[in-house]
Amino acid sequence: MTISLSHTRKELEGDLKITGSKSESNRLLILQALFPEIEIENLSNSDDSKVMQMALEKHSGTIDIHHAGTAMRFLTAYFASRENNEVVLTGSKRMKERPIRLLVEALREMGADIEYMKDDGFPPLKINGKKLGAKSVKLQANVSSQYVSALMLIAPSLPNGLEIILHGKITSTPYILMTLEIMKHAGIEGKLEGNCVKIEPVKELTSKSIAVESDWSSASYFYSLAAISDRAEIRLSNYRETSRQGDCCLSSIYRNFGVETTFEKNSIVLKKGHKKRAKRLSEDLANSPDIAQTIAVTCLALNMECNLTGLHTLKIKETDRLQALKTEIEKFGAKVAITSDSLRLFPVGKLNENVRIATYNDHRMAMAFAPLALRVPLEIEDAGVVSKSYPDFWKDFSKLGIESSEIE
């Protein structure tokens, strides 16, 4: 489905409830499968979390997780540690191109029985669940924090817990801290000290209900709308000022665009007035790479040069997001230079109109470019891809005056 986007007003006002964080939800679903005493409130309604739920109900056979990268990493560790479970984990064409060797090697070091069914180092995987008794494991930490979290989540169910010794510069540290915080709420002891994560074993947890915070990555698109607007006051719930989500850095980054964030009870209020914005933007997004697309498009809309670094993980996401951003942004007339871990945007004053954005099976490509409709009419291919993380995205955008119409 391709849709056409346009706007009816540049002064935005609205009150929206955003679905629970996909990152928090998927971590809690693994913990709940291991410790049924845990109850979850405000669970994400994303496709990825639904895939995770369905997968955890199975104990054998083929499990297709489609485009859900987090599910692939977390479930690989989960099923490897579940004695007598025999599954084949597979996914979309792109999923079969996304590396998983480092996690598999770490699990094999712990005694896991995992086979590659096609290309070495990539899904699909044949997993014969075993009782893992290792006390420690080594893992390269500069590729994906999800490998680290995957091991952390199964650690309390192991007889000795687990010590994870990390090699290299740790990427996306806030996501590891998020995992620790969630486990702490559940009653599991763990810590990160230097290059070592230590998780204590647990036999049984006290019954507990844990509420999922709304997704900060999803909030980024409303920050972008506010920045591009003439004036905005947008309230989003359910958010915490003490959030462990890496993307909560939005509240400070978007001050450069004239957007102020106020925390009120369980909500954030985004306000854009006449405050001057920066002339150019430089940000290291190593701890929050998922908002890189949104920030780049915001800069495009505001005719701001930007230099974004720390983006090495973007090449192994749903698509090569660096190349995809370059291709789609340049359709509007701007210039983009990329390296293996950075993006530099050289904007253009007048944007080309009615550009058709390819989404590459990537939900964030669709959502990141949508706020640009405040500047120029545009088209989004495969608009339904947003259901991967934010099924109500287009409905919520329409509440703020962004009109969409199906053209194919």
Task: Give the catalytic positions in this structure.
Answer: 290
145 is in an annotated binding site: yes
Dist CA 385 CA 257 (whole Å): 28
- Does 144 carry a binding-site annotation? yes
Is 23 annotated as contributing to ligand binding? yes
CA distance 293 to 364: 7
Three-state SS string over 25-65 comes to HHHHHHHHHHCCCEEEECCCCCHHHHHHHHHHCCCEEEEEC
Separation CA 60–CA 70 (nearest Å): 20
**Which long-range CB contacts under 8 A does 378-382 form with residues at least 24 apart?**
378/4, 378/5, 378/353, 378/354, 379/2, 379/3, 379/4, 379/5, 379/354, 379/355, 379/407, 380/2, 380/3, 380/5, 380/356, 381/2, 381/356, 381/357, 382/1, 382/2
Q: Is 73 annotated as a binding residue?
A: no
Q: State yes or no: 235 annotated in a binding site.
A: no
Which residue type does 322 have? L
Indicate the DSSP class of residue 208.
E
Q: Which two tokens stand for residue 306?
A: 């930007």
Q: Which of 121, 106, 109 has the alpha carbon at shortest distance from 152?
A: 106
* 3-state secondary structure (DSSP) of residue 181: helix
Confirm or deny that 98 is annotated as ligand binding.
yes
Q: What letter would DSSP give residue 135?
A: S
Q: Is 317 annotated for ligand binding?
A: yes
Residue 244 assigned as binding residue:
no
Residue 69 marked as a ligand binder: yes
Is 335 part of any known ligand binding site? no
Q: Is 133 annotated as a binding residue?
A: no
> Residues forming the annotated binding site?
22-23, 27, 69, 98, 144-146, 172, 290, 317, 321, 364, 388
> Residues forming the annotated binding site for phosphoenolpyruvate?
22, 69, 98, 146, 321, 364, 388
> Residues forming the annotated binding site for 3-phosphoshikimate?
22-23, 27, 144-146, 172, 290, 317
